[in-house]
Amino acid sequence: MLRVLAHGAAWMIAFRLCERVLGVLSTLILARLLVPDDFGVVAMAMSVIAMIELASAFGFDNALIARAEPQHAHYDTAFTMNAVLGMFCALLMIVLAGPTAAFYGDGRLVGVMCVLAVAWAVQGFENPGTVDFRRGLDWRREFMFQFSKRVMSFVATLAAAFALRSYWALIIGMTTGRIAAVALSYVLHPYRPRFSLAGLRDLLSFSKWLLFNNIIGFVSSRLSSFVIGRQSGSHALGVYSLAYEIGTLPTSELLAPINRALFPGFARIANDRAQLQQTFLGVFGTVTLLTIPAAFGIAAIAEPLVVVALGRKWIETIPLLQVLAFIGAIQAITSSTYPMCLAIGRPQLTAHVAAVRTLVMIPVMIWAGGRYGVQGVAWSELAVALCFLPVSLSVLLPALAVRARECARHVWRPLAGALSMFALVRWYVDRWDTGAAETWTIAAVLFSAMALGVAVYTGTVMVLWFASGRPEGVELRLLTFLRTRLVRRFA
């Protein structure tokens, strides 16, 4: 099963990689064409729209995947509920457009929210049959579906950015992506849904906890937008939003596709606890080996990265980036527990932990933001995440029948390697006066620092692995895989 999950994760990572290549290109181009205020306007609108969208966040697709043999009634019910909830959310967006503009003191939000409401209404009619791509582990078709709509959104965003040079480019891109998803869902899957509520009770028995999880997730992820937007305005929010996106980019872009593949795979072996635990530990080791150094690396090269990739007008993001990048490393350690809890039918566990964490974060972030501004918000996010890491693991791991010692055996070498890499790369970058240097010089520092980081991390992890007696784990699997490939290539 680990090999099957690896195959699915590879397809999803390939999709995410292609998507983020488009996303990074889009961000870099938009950062040159637009100003922080444009990003801030959209972030303000999305902070409210995402809250409204929670009314439709029942996760019916996951409920269909979790069922061993879903019937037509279940698919039709999912379609009907998504359509009704989509229309409801669209109407609510229009009604709240004026109050939102008044709350933030920005009249531009009225038009933005009304246009996006149309996209949300259309999205509710997406074909539920595409869930079969994940249920059947048909990752090639899932890749085609996800990537095609992303390309359409990318083209529309850039075309509008060059033509308009305003925040409307971001709105047009989002609207195009959602409408394209509906059209593609009927092109790529033959299922034709009908309006029905016959399977509502079966779906809601699972989806109610997904809704609760999504509500908590929204409050946690959007709290910073409300605090900064209210206290510091659109410019500060635009700076923070971009810093958060880049800071968590390496981990989010690996974790999201991996978790998308994990849940269907875990669901298939949920009744075999021994295989499930073994698979979970294999995934956990792989995720930490790849994502922890990526997060530490972003923090180490923040200054030359911002100057080269975004330009000097985004220099305010550097201190934020150096803090927010570490949140990605924490997310990497706990990310695999969520699909595991869904697979064993206990989504309430992650919901309860996330709820307590969010209740603590709300007053801490409001106080820190009011006293220390945007930097206070960033540090409060990191502090709460660090404090709740042992709490989360102490609650979730026993429920999954996984020993903390087994997880520690997989994580200590990547963590030691990442710390060594961070210290050496940060020392190397600080030796250069990048503030007055030419862009090409800073680019040379950036790429040489990246090469140094890869060498230090890889060397440290391998030395520690050999010193530990070469235990079974992801290092051994990677070496075996590379050796097999080399033998096939040169045999």
Local confidence band at 2 (pLDDT 50, 70, 90 cut-offs): very low
443-447: average pLDDT: 91
Q: What is the pLDDT of residue 450?
A: 93
48-59: average pLDDT: 67
The tokens describing 475, both together, are: 């290092």
387-413: average pLDDT: 83
Residues in contact with 395: Cβ distance below 8 Å, sequence separation at least 6, in sequence order: 349, 352, 353
Lowest mean pLDDT among 195-199, 342-346, 441-445, 482-486: 482-486
Is residue 52 assigned to a domain?
yes
Q: What is the extent of the structural domain holding 21?
A: 1-205
Encode burial over 467-483: b for 16+ CB neighbours within 10 A, e otherwise. Answer: eeeeeebbbeeeeeeee
Is residue 420 assigned to a domain?
no
Residues in contact with 139: Cβ distance below 8 Å, sequence separation at least 6, in sequence order: 7, 8, 10, 11, 12, 133, 261
Is residue 365 assigned to a domain?
no
Is residue 300 assigned to a domain?
no
What share of the chain in percent tops pLDDT 70?
85
Per the model's pLDDT, the better-predicted residue between 419 and 237 turns out to be 419
Whether the CB-CB separation of 299 and 429 falls below 8 Å is answered with no
Q: What is the pLDDT of residue 14?
A: 62
Residue 488 has pLDDT above 60, yes or no: yes
Q: Tell me, what amino acid is at 404?
A: A
Is residue 18 assigned to a domain?
yes
Is residue 409 assigned to a domain?
no
Residue 5 has pLDDT above 70, yes or no: no
Helices in 196-270 by DSSP H: which ranges?
A: 200-232, 234-247, 249-268
Q: What is the pLDDT of residue 125?
A: 93
Is residue 247 assigned to a domain?
no
pLDDT in tens, 274-327: 777 777 887 788 888 888 898 899 999 998 988 888 878 888 888 999 898 888
Number of structural domains found in the chain:
1
pLDDT in tens, 221-252: 778 888 888 788 778 888 888 888 888 876 66
Is residue 404 assigned to a domain?
no
Lowest mean pLDDT among 101-115, 337-351, 374-388: 337-351
Per the model's pLDDT, the better-predicted residue between 387 and 59 turns out to be 387
Average model confidence (pLDDT) across the chain: 81
